[in-house]
Amino acid sequence: MTELTVWYDGGCPLCRREIALMQRLDRAEAITFVDVNKADGGSCPIDRADLLARFHARENGVLLSGAAAFAAMWRAIPRLRWLGLVAKAPGMLPLLEQAYRVFLRIRPRLQRLARKAEQNAA
């Protein structure tokens, strides 16, 4: 069985929504989800700022970042396993990483929109 830990930004409305979905899909509870904002320093494998800047996961003791971390998370969830396996195909991970880097550039705007939506819903 794969050991997988995922660190996420619980202060980010986008991250909270995505992780909530992943937690619902992870019916076997195969993934340990760690909110970086609530974690003690000992549970974080690298600097907190680095964890907040990019998505990170540890799969069987190997720290992954960006698209590789997403692919590991997908592989751990039966309904998304196919997507994680596609990411392992030759040339796919670099393409996914490029897409992830584009997302990182627009993420601050998306976060602002999500925060406004949360405030309007409250």
**Looking at residue 43, what DSSP letter applies?**
G
Pick from 70, 72, 67, 79: nearest CA to 24: 79
Q: pLDDT category, 93, cuts 50, 70, 90? A: very high
Q: Which residues pair with 57 in a beta bridge?
A: 6, 64
pTM, whole model, 2 decimals?
Answer: 0.90
Task: Encode pLDDT of 37-79 as tens digits.
Answer: 887 766 778 888 898 899 999 999 999 999 999 999 999 999 9
Cβ atoms of 99 and 87 closer than 8 Å: no
Q: 């998505």: which residue's tokens? A: 55
* DSSP type of residue 77: S
Domain ranges of the chain: 4-121
**CA distances (Å), origin 33, targets 5, 58, 65:** 6, 11, 15
Residue 48's pLDDT is what?
A: 85
